[in-house]
Amino acid sequence: MTTIAITNHTTPEADTIAADKLIAGNAATKLWHQFTDTTGQFHVGQWASEPCKLSVSYDENELCVIVERVVELTDADGTTTRYAAPDAFVIPAGFKGTWESLTPVRKIYAAFEEN
């Protein structure tokens, strides 16, 4: 088995944030999905967006490493935390709130979804 590079040197998948989740800004995103394990529960890659604010509700545990620029996460209680490259943080399953890309943002993600 070989190792897998987490890179954005390939053509990304273009996606759009669902209208019911987009609060403000640009709905366009890019995804460079690099790996899914054999159980289908663990996923790794990169994600990018233009400035936007969206409603989020996490079913998975996700490690995020901000590679470019600045984001703010606000939880359901109104606590806001700002992360800028090269910050790393975990969003636990059950987190509800908002994700705001204050600038064009790119992150590396590693997400685990429980059965």
**CATH of residue 35:** 2.60.120.10
For residue 36, tell me if it sits in a domain: yes
What are the pLDDT digits (tens) for 76-108?
Answer: 999 999 999 999 999 999 999 999 999 999 999
For residue 19, tell me if it sits in a domain: yes
Q: Is 107 helix (H, G, I), strand (E, B) or coil?
A: strand
Query: Which strands sit side by side in the sheet containing 22-25, from one edge to the other?
Result: 22-25, 52-57, 96-101, 70-75, 80-84
CB atoms within 10 A of CB 62: 19
In whole angstroms, how large is the CA radius of gyration of the chain?
14
Range of the domain at 93: 13-112
For residue 97, tell me if it sits in a domain: yes
Q: What is the pLDDT of residue 109?
A: 98
Q: Per the structure, how many domains does the chain have?
A: 1
